[in-house]
Amino acid sequence: MTDTKAIPEALRRAIKALRADAATHPAGSRAQRALGAMADWLESVLDLHEPTLTLADLNGCQWCNDEDWPCADTQFAVAAALAYLGEVTA
């Protein structure tokens, strides 16, 4: 995903879909817990990883101190979210 402004929306859509899918499984089932855990992980990435803003431009991640934005953790989370949503592009 090259449009960094679209990252939060992609993560929010995946979190919403995961929570909805988790609700269709029996309470406490392995599937419900797995879907809930993935949604929790995506929420943590969304909450914690933010670009470091400088006068020049985006310059890394404030949370993990990665030199690139989006950082590796965010890139992985977005890839997982898009895969779950069926929006994977080659």
Binning pLDDT at 50, 70 and 90, where does residue 2 land? low
pLDDT for 36-52, tens place per residue? 999 999 999 999 998 88
pTM score: 0.85
Between strands 51-53 and 58-61, the pairing is: antiparallel
> Where along the chain do its domains lie?
4-85
Q: Length of the chain, please?
A: 90
DSSP string, 57-73: SEEEETTT--SSSS-HH
